[in-house]
Copies of this chain bind each other. A is one copy, B any other.
Amino acid sequence: MSKLLIVGTVAFDAIETPFGKTDKILGGAATYIGLSASHFDTESAIVSIIGDDFPQEYLDLFKKNNINIEGIEKVEGGKTFFWSGRYHNDLNSRDTLETQLNVLADFQPIVPENYKDAEFVMLGNLHPLVQLSVLEQVKNPKLAVLDTMNFWMDNALEDLKKVIAKVDVITINDEEARQLSGEYSLVKAARKIAAMGPEYVVIKKGEHGALLFHKEEIFFAPALPLEEVFDPTGAGDTFAGGFIGYLAKTKDISFENMKNAIIYGSNLASFCVEKFGTERMQDLTKEEVHSRLEEFRKLTQFKIEVT
């Protein structure tokens, strides 16, 4: 079994959508990535930082999902990273209401000894220098995947470019791909971003699906059309977790298999948005994931006789 190392936030989120609002609930990029990847029975570990206000039950949830938490540093007297946001009516955009960095402000990540030989590394959204530090602590990973955000393009672009130069895959949303490349066409944007380092570029388009670029090849996975999207928080991280989880499980990092990984990422993300926060990911079963894979097949597979 492959080892998967995940770095990213473990956080409290407070979310408002047109359907309701939550108090502080479990959130954070590493949380969503970990829960999503755990569907593939990988041996995974999270590197992150929390305060002593972080409930033991959440840590138990990670352990229950076979996620190693040795690398989650607990700061006594510190407070866990907190984010709150309000989604607009169409759920396609949101305003950040509050961000409290708290313990994250001085985070120096330490990769557990047992994960320094991890074959798969998922750099979830965090300061690029933290991502870089984690990557440098791992010896020769088979695949490193980077997820990032426009915030780091605005505030730490040079550092971000250093990480981008060192990873195999970058996942990024469409607006961020345009910002990073200066190109409106996603085909051109992906080419420019690939020239910065990553051999594979994944552009996430939310409800409009995701594109995987590799050299001159392109693969596309739609988002599953849903009756109701309840809360989009964590969908991108869940997508990334499904993507790398599937690759870690199958150990096949060919372009053909990455197509499957993109489909699994979309599959898992389609569950994430059905309830608030991590709620749906916590009770998700293997049978549900398999059954939805069939829905993706029906949605996209065709058999044309050339006329």
Contact = CB atoms under 8 A, between A and B. Distances in A.
A217 B89 CA distance: 27
Contacts of A90: 184
> What is the total number of copies of this protein in its complex?
2
B260 A298 contact: no
Interface stretch (A6-14, A59-67, A102-110, A220-228): A220-228
A21 interface: no
Nearest to A245: B307
Contacts of A246: 307
Contacts of A227: 185, 187-188
A179 interface: no
Contacts of A303: 256, 260
A184, A250, A307 pick with most chain B CB within 10 angstroms: A307
A146 to B, nearest CB: 21
A300 B220 contact: yes
A299 interface: yes
Interface string A164-191: 0000000000000000000011111000
B259 A307 contact: no
A228 B89 CA distance: 32
Contacts of A184: 89-90
Nearest to A262: B302
B300 A263 contact: no
B225 A222 contact: no
A298 B250 contact: no
A1 interface: no
B307 A250 contact: yes
Contacts of A259: 302
Contacts of A280: none
Contact of A293 (B211, B229, B299, B304): B304
23 contacts: A89-B184, A90-B184, A186-B225, A187-B225, A187-B226, A187-B227, A188-B227, A205-B208, A209-B222, A217-B298, A218-B225, A218-B299, A219-B298, A219-B300, A219-B302, A220-B300, A222-B222, A264-B304, A290-B306, A300-B300, A300-B301, A300-B302, A301-B302
Interface of A: 40, 89-90, 184-188, 205, 208-209, 211, 217-220, 222, 225-229, 246, 249-250, 256, 259-260, 263-264, 290, 293, 298-304, 306-307
Given A40-B307, A187-B225, 14 more contacts: A185-B226, A185-B229, A187-B226, A187-B227, A205-B208, A209-B209, A217-B298, A218-B299, A219-B299, A219-B300, A222-B222, A250-B307, A260-B302, A301-B302
